[in-house]
Amino acid sequence: MEEYNYKNITANKDRIKKMFDTPELRAYEKKRSKNNKIKEWTYKIFSLGMSGKTTKTLIYLNIFVFVLELLFKVGMSMFIGFPISSPLFMFWQPFTSMFLHGGWIHLIVNMVALWSIAKPLEEMWGNKKLLIFYLLCGLFSGLLCALIFPLPVVGASGAICGLLSAFAWLNPNTKILLFFVIPAKTKPAVIWFGVISLILGIASLINPVFGFGIAHFGHLGGLLAGVGLMYFWKKRYLTTSSSVF
């Protein structure tokens, strides 16, 4: 058998590489690498970081409804969460108000929170359970505001706070940023968030100025609904943890 000359083979490879290693080829490879990165980041953005079906649908739905708000401001007013004492109150508003937002910042903050909390929950629960949990928490939050808070409300915060309660139930020691600033374990963070929401909610009833334009009872309602649903589902062996508040 003939013995291979590996040195010659290596030399030939180097010679071929130099033959094709031209400035034009290097520029082409650089451009292709840049285009691939752009495509990758575009996919990540529009796929919401490989989020589940329900999480993506909820985020897209909120964005779509916000665009409708910008286009049809007057027509969308019937879906705002007015208090029951208002002549503008309609029975569907505690539900529909969770899909409306007061501005771009309100929308972005809520959608970032929704993505970060709903994504891991959907991986544990699946699509249907997450959707039911989200809608029930949002509905309870809207009803509480309609009964207690004297001003109209909008936003997905109540439903998201319900998911936050569920996340704290299942992951009590996971560290999060309370108010996006203060690092804390999930369980005490949610408890303090609830206490602060209650205090500011009562203060806003005395004088709306103390509410700083935020429906704190909506947050509190979502937190309470989340805890209540977790207790209810725990009895039916639908949760994956026995951790309680």
In the chain, where are the structural domains located? 1-46, 52-235
**72 token code pair:** 């049809």
- Is the Cα torsion angle 80, 216, 99, 236 positive or negative in sign? negative
Q: Does domain 52-235 have CATH number 1.20.1540.10?
A: yes
Instruction: Spell out the alpha helix ranges (H) of the chain.
Output: 6-20, 23-46, 53-71, 73-76, 93-96, 104-125, 127-148, 157-170, 186-206, 216-235
Q: How do the pLDDT tens digits run along the chain, 245 residues long?
A: 455 454 555 555 555 555 556 666 666 666 666 656 554 544 444 444 556 788 999 999 999 999 999 888 777 888 999 999 999 999 999 999 999 998 899 999 999 889 888 888 998 888 899 999 999 999 999 999 999 988 899 999 999 999 999 999 988 887 766 555 667 778 888 888 899 999 998 988 888 887 788 888 999 999 999 999 998 887 665 544 444 33
pTM score: 0.74
> Tokens 């929308």 label which residue?
107
- Spatial separation of the C-alpha atoms in residues 174 and 168, rounded to whole Å: 8
